[in-house]
Structure 1
């Protein structure tokens, strides 16, 4: 059998009809009752929570910044004025 471009010997029209049936099966029409609208949002409570979250974030960020600055100051205090290990490694010559 010398069919070109198709496997299984299925005619093109049957294949297209099957594809259309699959599309129809994948997108069912909405059934049942429509959901009621959501309850009204209490924006005051929402805004209070948002402000509290922003304050917590600012406090955490300030604490982390202070911790980082303290670590950097400690690293500078431990530095004895010589080149760093990485600088010494870069200057090494091959054996």
Structure 2
């Protein structure tokens, strides 16, 4: 099926459990915070709800311990506001 949809399978290095930990944590949050126990009624509903989780809740509203209690969007906004360029191209 991966070949049919031209998806390249990616595996972590053998014995390195840290390669995939951010995605594992994300999917754990998605499943425990958003996906209904009974599942979704259709693929379309699942797609819409998961997009709503990622764009609306996970990125904009949900505080993240790793970001000091900030949402990902707020953490990134603060990073870019405080970012100092190394070179001036003018």
Give the TM-score normalised by structure 2.
0.26
More helix by share: 1
Greater gyration radius: 1
| Greater relative contact order (Cα < 8 A, sep 6+) | 2
Give the TM-score normalised by structure 1.
0.25
